[in-house]
Chains A and B, each alone.
Chain A
Amino acid sequence: MAAPAPQAPASQPAPTAEPAPAASTDTPSPDTAAAAAPEQPRHVRHAPGDPLEGFNRVMFSFNTSLDKAIVRPAAMGYKTIVPSPARSGLRNALANLNEPIVFLNDVLQLKPGNAFRTFSRFLINSVFGLAGLFDVANHEGLPHRKNGFGNTLGRYGVKPGPYLYLPVLGPSSLRDAVGGVGDGAVLPNAVGEPFDRTDYRIGTAVVSGLDARIQYDSEIKTLYDTSLDPYAALRSVYQQSRAADIAAITGKTDASPDDTMEDDLKDPAASPDATPAEAAPAAGAAPDATLPEAAPSAGPK
Chain B
Amino acid sequence: MTADPFRMRSLASGIALGLSLASAPAIHAQTPDAAQAPVQMLCDRLIANMKGGPQLGFSGRAAAIGPVVDRAFDLPLMTRLTIGPQWNMVSASDQSALVSAIRKLTVNQYAANFDAYEGQRFTIDPKVETRGADRLVRTSLVQRKDPPVAIGYRLRQSGNGWKIIDVYYQNSISQLATRRSDFARVFQTGGAKALLKHLDDLANRAGH
Contact = CB atoms under 8 A, between A and B. Distances in A.
Interface of A: 1, 3-4, 6, 23, 25-26, 28-29, 31-33, 35-37, 41, 43-44, 47, 225-229, 232-233, 235-237, 240-241, 243-244, 247, 258-261, 264-265, 267-269, 271, 273-278, 280-282, 285-291, 297, 300
Given A1-B171, A228-B182, 17 more contacts: A6-B172, A6-B173, A25-B198, A29-B197, A32-B193, A35-B191, A225-B205, A229-B181, A229-B183, A232-B182, A237-B173, A258-B178, A259-B174, A260-B154, A268-B85, A277-B90, A282-B89
24 contacts: A6-B170, A25-B186, A25-B198, A25-B202, A26-B186, A28-B194, A29-B197, A31-B193, A32-B190, A47-B184, A227-B202, A232-B182, A233-B181, A240-B172, A240-B178, A243-B172, A265-B134, A265-B165, A273-B88, A277-B91, A285-B89, A286-B85, A288-B84, A290-B85
Contact of A276 (B88, B171, B172, B186): B88
B174 A240 contact: yes
A3 B81 contact: no
A115 to B, nearest CB: 23
A260 B166 contact: yes
Contacts, number: 179
Interface size class of B (residues with CB under 8 A): 35 or more
Contacts of A47: 181, 184
Contacts of A265: 81, 134, 154, 156, 165-166, 176
B183 to A, nearest CB: 6
A136 B88 CA distance: 57
Nearest 3 A/B pairs, CB to CB: A244-B172, A28-B190, A236-B181
Contact of B189 (A36, A269, A288): A36
Contacts of A227: 178, 182, 202
B170 A278 contact: no
